[in-house]
Amino acid sequence: MLFDSPAFIAFLIPVVFILWRLNHRTQNVFLLLASYFFYGWWDWRFLALMVGSTTMDFLIAQKIVPEQQNPHRRKWFIFSLFLNFTILGIFKYFDFFAGSFVGMLNNLGLHNVPLPLIRIILPPGISFYTFQEVAYIVDVYNGRIAASRSFVEYGLFISFFAHLIAGPIQRPGHLLPQVQRERTFDADRFFDGLMLIFSGMIRKCIVADNCALLVNAAFGGQLGPPNLWVVLLGTYGFAWQVYGDFSGYSDIARGAAQLLGFHFMVNFRQPFLAPRLQDFWRRWHISLSSWLRDYLYIPMGGSRAGEWKTVKNLFLTMVLAGLWHGANWTYVIFGAIHGIVLPIERFFFPAKTRPAAGSAPEPPAGFFALWAQRILTFNILCLSLAFFRATSLHAAAAFLAGLSNFAWRPEYASAFFMLCLYSVPLFLIDLHLEVTDQEYPFANASYVFRTVLAACAFVALALFSGSSLNAFVYFQF
The catalytic residues are 325
DSSP assignment, residue 20? T
In angstroms and rounded to an integer, the radius of gyration of the C-alpha atoms of the chain is 23
Q: What is the rounded distance in angstroms from the CA atom of residue 230 to the CA atom of residue 209?
A: 19
Q: What is the rounded distance in angstroms from the CA atom of residue 207 to the CA atom of residue 413?
A: 19
DSSP string over 394-443: HHHHHHHGGGG-----THHHHHHHHHHHHHHHHHHHHHHHHHH--SSTTT
Question: Which candidate, 46, 24, 236, places its Cα nearest to that of 159?
Answer: 46
For residue 283, give every residue at least 6 positions away whose Cβ sits within 8 Å of its Cβ, in sequence order, or none. 268, 269, 270, 271, 273, 274
Q: Say what the alpha-carbon torsion angle 227, 230, 235, 241 is, to the nearest 10 degrees.
A: -170
Sign, CA torsion 350/355/361/365: negative
Q: What is the rounded distance in angstroms from the CA atom of residue 454 to the CA atom of residue 392?
A: 41
Q: What is the rounded distance in angstroms from the CA atom of residue 300 to the CA atom of residue 312?
A: 10
